[in-house]
Structure 1
Amino acid sequence: MFFDLNIPIKKSPARLNTSKKSKLPETTTTWTTAEIADIERRVDVLVHLGYTVLAFSQTVNKKIDPKTHVNFLDNLISQLRTRSGIVYLKRLNIILDQDSEKGFGLVNASVSLFNAYDLIALVPTTHNTFSSACLTHSLPSQLTAHIISLPLTLPRLPYHMKHTLIRTAIKNGAVFEINYVGALGGENDSMLVEADAAENGPNAKRNWWASSRELVRVTKGRSIVVSGGIVNEADLRAPRDVANLISMLGLAQDAAHDASSKTPKSLIIRAKTRQTHRAVLSEPAVVFPANSDLAESSNPIEKLDMEDVVTADSPQPQKRQREDSGPSKKKKRKQNREDTQLVA
């Protein structure tokens, strides 16, 4: 099972004024036949290459405004053809810059908006946003961003990847993403196009190799996910080709294979915990044995007796003292040694 967790989707929702009294226009998203056919061709190529879990990504620049934000991935996935054994996911990318340092929309009041997405990824472009992504937004909560995607094709990363920040993010369960689109020149790196910081051609390749090696060195090859980030289906690569590519960054062969299979799977399982209280994996349930008296009652709590409940205030049973039946084994061994010396 192989994963591609970054399939960029570009769409500009049409704005319609449905009421003169409304201050903000309502937004709707309509997909043309040509747009659906283009995405279907990309999905067909990915399935042919061996990918089974596909995450369509929507990119937002600077911050999210709940009043104007439109989730157009719901409407898209409902129109795609169902394929046996293929899973579609929805992902939200948030590009963070200097304007995002004061806040970018990840607040408790917008939990229902972010619950519609399966994955949340942050793309920090400043030192403050990178520190916030690693220390604050990777903590388990209903607004956890499990993916930190770095702009690897920039001429130079605008921040230093400190070991303390990286270790904290990995300990909290976050992963660092490498999009192999930069190794092909970066022409279709849609996230950097949104941030007006795209670098193309040989310079983008050189920047990608240098930044990716540094990321692998700092993370020691752990918690790394490799994705595509490609718009043109001609640039897509098979999972094993991608594993051979990123193994040249210093990753071991098994770690390069896990970057597109095992690690993304664990990431998706952790991302599902955003919809539970304090990121608990599942709601606990008490299961009674089938042959017990509690299982026969409609209300098992009524069958419990106060004598069976042990609280912290109740006296603990005292340990039974060992009866003095004779000398201990240690004393017996010492006596035997003394007897042996006397005989000798």
Structure 2
Amino acid sequence: MYFDLNVPIPLPSGGLATQFTKGKAKQVQSPQFTPAQLTAIEARIDLLVHLGYSVLAFNQQIKTKVEPKTFINTLDPLLRHVKKRLGVIYLKRLTILLDEDSEKGFGLTNAQTDLFSPYDIIALAPTTEGSFSLACLTHTQPSPLSAHVISVPLDVPRLSFHMKHTMVRTALRNGAVFEIPYASALDSNAKRNWWAAAREVVRVTKGKGLIVTSGGLDVADLRAPKDIANLLTFLGLAQNVTHDSATTNPKSLVLRAQTRKTYRAVFSEPKLVLPGISGVGPVVASDRVETKPSGERLAESKSAAVASQVPLMAEPPTPLDGRQSKRARDSAGLTDCNTVGGARKKRKGKKSG
């Protein structure tokens, strides 16, 4: 099972829709995709499925601060128009571009949890030193708004910040992954910058916690998973690492991203199972509860406590006479030589001889 967790979606054309709130009509903006955009998206999905990908994450990217009044979810309307395919899973991803203004706050607060809960994956794209530190140290901790993908811009001439080992290790320890989109490596204008930035990401992470995605709008930029694995080997990665970047690591990321909806990244909520309930199992004798008066229960508890403290005395054995002891030895297969008296008679016989 191969994953592509970065399938960019073009911006839809805006439209007005009527929304009724408490009996009052209100005009709100709703995204509407044109037939040409839907056709292009369907063609890209068909090609990705043909190449061998079975889990696709549609990516919505925002460049401004998240405001509840102006924020629009464009992926939910898209999934209503995209036709379902057998064996293909669709996910929703939100990528927030962090700049200098984002260091003071860009909307990832507990008061706006409802805006981000529909998305399966939350990714951060830092562009400054402060935003990179904020993304690695703060927003990767387990919370309802934790981000599990850090997307470093690889198509710029030079990274505007230094990737420190301490920040990267902290992000990896918290469960975050670093993304390497390969679309820029196929562009003649940006591939030189891509190789330099990608090598820096591989050097700092040491090949751990990496995922490879497409990240391109053009159909000509899509490649098969095996071709991308061969491309990443030129960055100094082993073949098993390149294979895990498209299979194992994205799968772990998706499972970990599901824990955002639970408390402190718990995979499942505990359930209390009571015996004797239909569907659980038959009631055993130890599970039955008998109602007795309080006086009888107190007496039984006292007697049980006394019995547990006082050891049981065994009955003394009855003494046996000579004939009964001899019969007992004969029945047990013992002879006179095995007894103390028999051994003395045997030694006397040897001395006399």
Report TM bin, short chain: 0.7 to 0.9
Match of 2:231 in 1: 245
Measure, in 1, the Cα distance between the counterparts of 2:99 and 2:285: 58
User: Which of 154, 169, 172 pairs up with 1:170?
Assistant: 172
Higher-Rg member (1/2):
2
Distance 1:26 1:217, change over 3 A: same
Match of 2:245 in 1: 259
| Residue 220 of structure 1 pairs with residue 206 of structure 2 | yes
Measure, in 1, the Cα distance between the counterparts of 2:109 and 2:164: 27
Measure, in 1, the Cα distance between the counterparts of 2:119 and 2:235: 31
Match of 2:9 in 1: 9
Measure, in 1, the Cα distance between the counterparts of 2:27 and 2:179: 36
Aligned identity (percent) is 54
8 Å contact kept, 1:96–1:123: yes
Measure, in 2, the Cα distance between the counterparts of 1:64 and 1:109: 12
The residue type paired with residue 45 of structure 1 is L
8 Å contact kept, 2:98–2:126: yes
8 Å contact kept, 2:13–2:34: no
Match of 1:54 in 2: 56
Measure, in 1, the Cα distance between the counterparts of 2:17 and 2:240: 54
Measure, in 1, the Cα distance between the counterparts of 2:261 and 2:45: 28
Measure, in 2, the Cα distance between the counterparts of 1:132 and 1:18: 39
Measure, in 2, the Cα distance between the counterparts of 1:209 and 1:249: 8
Match of 1:128 in 2: 130
Match of 1:269 in 2: 255
Match of 1:209 in 2: 195
Measure, in 2, the Cα distance between the counterparts of 1:42 and 1:15: 25
Following superposition, the deviation at residue 181 of structure 1 comes to: 0.9
Per-residue deviation, residues 298-331 of structure 1 (Å, max 9, x unmatched):
9xxxxxx9xxxxxxxxxxxxxxxxxxxxxxxxxx
Superposition pairs of residues 35-184 of structure 1, within 5 angstroms: 35-184=37-186
Following superposition, the deviation at residue 13 of structure 1 comes to: 4.5
Query: Which ranges in structure 2 are unaligned for 5 or more consecutive residues?
Result: 276-280, 290-296, 298-353
Following superposition, the deviation at residue 286 of structure 1 comes to: 3.8
Measure, in 2, the Cα distance between the counterparts of 1:274 and 1:140: 7
Measure, in 2, the Cα distance between the counterparts of 1:122 and 1:170: 14
Following superposition, the deviation at residue 168 of structure 1 comes to: 0.1
The residue type paired with residue 160 of structure 1 is H
**TM-score of the pair, normalised by structure 2:** 0.75
Measure, in 1, the Cα distance between the counterparts of 2:216 and 2:156: 17
Over 4 Å off, 4+ runs: 291-298
Total equivalences in the alignment: 281
The residue type paired with residue 218 of structure 2 is N
Following superposition, the deviation at residue 287 of structure 1 comes to: 4.3
Structure showing greater relative contact order (alpha-carbon pairs closer than 8 Å, 6 or more residues apart): 1
Larger mean CA deviation between 281-290 and 246-255 belongs to 281-290
**TM-score of the pair, normalised by structure 1:** 0.77
Measure, in 2, the Cα distance between the counterparts of 1:286 and 1:268: 27
Query: Which ranges in structure 1 are unaligned for 5 or more consecutive residues?
Result: 186-200, 299-304, 306-344
Measure, in 2, the Cα distance between the counterparts of 1:295 and 1:26: 62
